[in-house]
Amino acid sequence: MTTLLNDRDLQFLLYEFLDTEALLKRPRYAEHARETFDATLETARHIAEELFAPHLAKGDANEPHFDGERVHLVPETKAAWDAFAQAGFLSAHWDEAEGGLQMPEVVLRSAITYFKSANVATSTYSFLSIGSANLLRSFGTPEQKARFLAPMGDGRFSGTMALTEPGQGSALGDITTRAELQPDGTYRLFGQKMFISGGDHDLADNIVHMVLARIKGAPAGVKGISLFLVPKYLVNEDGSIGARNDVTLAGLLHKMGWRNATSTVLSFGERGGAVGTLVGDAGKGLAHMFQMMNEARIGIGLCAAAIAYRAYLMTLEYARERPQGRLPSCKDPLSPQVRLIQHADVRRMLLAQKAYAEGALAMCLYASSLFEDQHTHPDETERRNAGLLLDLLTPMVKSWSSKYGCASNDMAIQILGGSGYIREYPQEQLYRDQRLNPIHEGAEAIHGIDLLGRKVVMQSGAAYELFRAAADATLEEARNIPELATLADGFDTPLARLGKVTAQLVRLQSSDPDRALANATIYLDAFGRILAAWIWLKQALAAQRGLVNAKQGDRAFYQGKLHAARYYCNWELPATLPQFDLLAGVEDTPLTMQDAWF
């Protein structure tokens, strides 16, 4: 059995890097104990190992197919879905009154990471169901909740988010699916959606699509978009399954990886209109959907972290076992071969993988802890601040994890060499699976513009100030610890330049937004590196605390954390400086490139 995550690391992140035990003091979690958190993780690990991991390659080699009537998945997928549902993971975070276990977000997200590591494609169905049920919990009418929530919580129904259309891509304001109001208060939907993950399958009795559409007569752009609940099968008042709704599978898309998750083209209303009901307020569809998108963005960050983590652990095992060549200092061909891990460049790549994979996991769980605070912190200001900071960080949590997740899986292949490139080893599939993450839930450029064009600007830069204050507090703490003072000093220039460049580009946005945002992707990457370095410094502080009383085996764990922090701060943080030069100069070679010159 391959290790899916380093369990020790997860314990470190939850209880040393974050203070998850402190949640037990909040009234919502009074019934819990650290033991219930740990038992949740243990259950997740067990199901992930037993029912998700074993068909990783099989689901890839036998991708879903559509026989014209039904979509078929490898049967292991259904067993995995059922076990996930039966263990209560679909509704673990719900209130007790809703039938949930009131599990904290950060614990649930940690648990779910095991499934993503084991088999990201199979985990997608659950992941989307949780998100769409959350939308319903937030914005659904009592009637919608009564009819749909319970079966979405126990796995009889699954859910999707249906945003993208063939002609519109990332620009959601241009969607054309239309909804026509009926005398009975329901709507009929007409249009086509594309790249809808989990849009059809044979895992559940019904599929609840959360669909963005435009009510007839609504204004153009995002203000005319509303959110609808459109089930695959209508549901009778008593909860029993009714007639087939007018939602049909127009086709499956064939992905490079992530294959066991269906990606679908769905047609609404080819036979008179798909029956849908309005969720939330008319014209607020995109705003409502952003709840799910923001959750999903942290979720994608976790997918990236998990896929990178799995590959890292496998590569490490390979590098420790595989004999290969000799060190440059050894000129004796009769001396025994060393292990791969003894080569400096292999160790560099393993250390980078560790920095990316563990760093992404830490970053995503930190974001989850902000989500937790936003919703359950006893202090109102803390709740508001946590929400603001999470808003600011979300584009980076998603994009940094995805980008460096890809870099990490790339190194995993490189360390294995030819073996990394063949399907006889899992690395090549993980590399293909990982490549989706910089695309879905907003391609990288979208997040750059979101960060620089909205997030650092909102509320007069309040979120940015919160980040700076949090970073400064960490730096002050680190400067007082001799082992970490140098690392802390390394932040001075990047942070100062980030502040300057941010102010400059925010100013420029009012006069020339196209120019100010032209290099927003570079800004996203530079800020993301600083965020990642800060997350590593926070881990280093926790490791330094842990070292004080650590036992022998644990000392190595903490030393590894400290060394990975050193690696990230020394190797990756300074790479922001040429980026800030480009940003400060508002370098415009790409902007001034003309179509005819290509």
Catalytic residues: 441
Q: Closest distance between a copy of itself and the C-beta of residue 552, in Å?
A: 10
When asked if residue 423 is in the footprint of a copy of itself (CB under 8 A), the reply is yes
Q: Give the residue with the Cβ less far from a copy of itself, 130 or 346.
A: 346
Instruction: Give the whole-angstrom CA distance, residue 417 versus residue 264.
Output: 35
Task: Indicate the Cα dihedral angle 75, 162, 165, 367, nearest 10°.
Answer: -100
Residues 512 to 531: which contact a copy of itself by CB under 8 A? 512-514, 516-521
For residues 106 and 369, the answer to whether their CB atoms sit within 8 Å is yes
- Can residue 440 be called a binding residue for a copy of itself (CB under 8 A)? yes
Binding mask 23-42 for a copy of itself (x = CB under 8 A): --------------------
Alpha carbon distances (Å) from 73 to 54, 68, 70, 125, 396: 15, 14, 10, 12, 34
The answer to whether residue 105 forms part of the interface with a copy of itself (CB under 8 A) is: no
Angstrom distances, CA of residue 122 to CA of 84, 155, 204, 208, 213:
11, 14, 13, 18, 28
In the bound state with a copy of itself, the residue whose beta carbon lies nearer, of 182 and 559, is: 559
Distance between CA atoms of 229 and 212, rounded to whole angstroms? 9
Site for a copy of itself in 304-363 (CB under 8 A): 316, 320, 322-329, 333-334, 337, 341, 343-348, 350-351, 354
Q: If binding means CB under 8 A, how many residues of this protein chain bind a copy of itself?
A: 104
SS (H, E, C) 381-401: HHHHHHHHHHHHHHHHHHHHH
Minimum CB distance to a copy of itself, residue 343 (Å): 7
Q: Which stretch binds a copy of itself (CB under 8 A): 69-77, 239-247, 364-372, 583-591?
A: 583-591
> Does 510 interact with a copy of itself (rule: CB under 8 A)?
no
Tell me: does residue 458 bind a copy of itself (CB under 8 A).
no
**Interface characters, 216-235, with a copy of itself (x: CB under 8 A):** ---xxxxx------------
User: Does 460 help bind a copy of itself (rule: CB under 8 A)?
Assistant: no
Give Cα separations from 327 to 36, 175, 319, 464, 562 (angstroms). Answer: 49, 59, 15, 47, 26
Residue whose CB is less far from a copy of itself, 103 or 569 = 569
Cβ closer to a copy of itself: 137 or 284? 284
CB 370 within 8 A of CB 106: no
- Please list every residue from 521 through 580 that binds a copy of itself, using CB under 8 A: 521, 556-557, 559-560, 563, 566-567, 570-571, 574-575, 577-578
The rounded distance, in Å, linking the Cα atoms of 151 and 98 is 12
Window 393 to 422, contacts with a copy of itself (CB under 8 A): 406, 410, 413-414, 417-418, 420-422
* Residue 496 engages a copy of itself in binding (rule: CB under 8 A): no
Residue 177, C-beta contacts closer than 8 angstroms, at least 6 positions apart: 165, 189, 190, 191, 192, 193, 211, 212, 213, 214, 268
